[in-house]
Amino acid sequence: MNFTGKYELQSQENFEPFMKALGLPDDQIQKGKDIKSISEIVQDGKKFKVTVTTGSKVLHNEFTVGEECEMEMLTGEKVKAVVQLEGNNRLVANLKGLKSVTELNGDTITNTLTMGDLTYKRISKRI
């Protein structure tokens, strides 16, 4: 399955408590909670380029499945991670105590971030 496409955020669960736990300042959380972010994914075999634009904030990560890479977190911190492909539609990464699972089903992409017992879920639709 190919992840390439542009996806617009449709809904999210637990945004505020999760961002607080990550250590983001309250003003950033308030600004970010109502913005419909756009995720753009370009897949070339095992290589991925992911750009997430939320208002004026742009998060850009590139990785190759199975190889260590540097990923920028929502806080701006850069951490080492290895992204694995499970089945043909799930990307899984562990970033410094945070587990990220991105699953593609048809035109819907679901990103679930888990940190301890806190889970943040984003659902985006292909545009």
Residues 6+ apart with CB under 8 A from 97: 115, 116
Q: pLDDT (tens digit, 9 = 90+) per residue, 3-33?
A: 999 999 999 999 999 999 988 889 888 888 8
Q: pTM surpassing 0.95?
A: no
Q: pLDDT (tens digit, 9 = 90+) per residue, 50-98?
A: 999 988 889 999 999 999 999 998 778 899 999 999 999 999 999 888 9
Q: How many Å apart are CA 8 and CA 40, to the nearest integer? A: 9
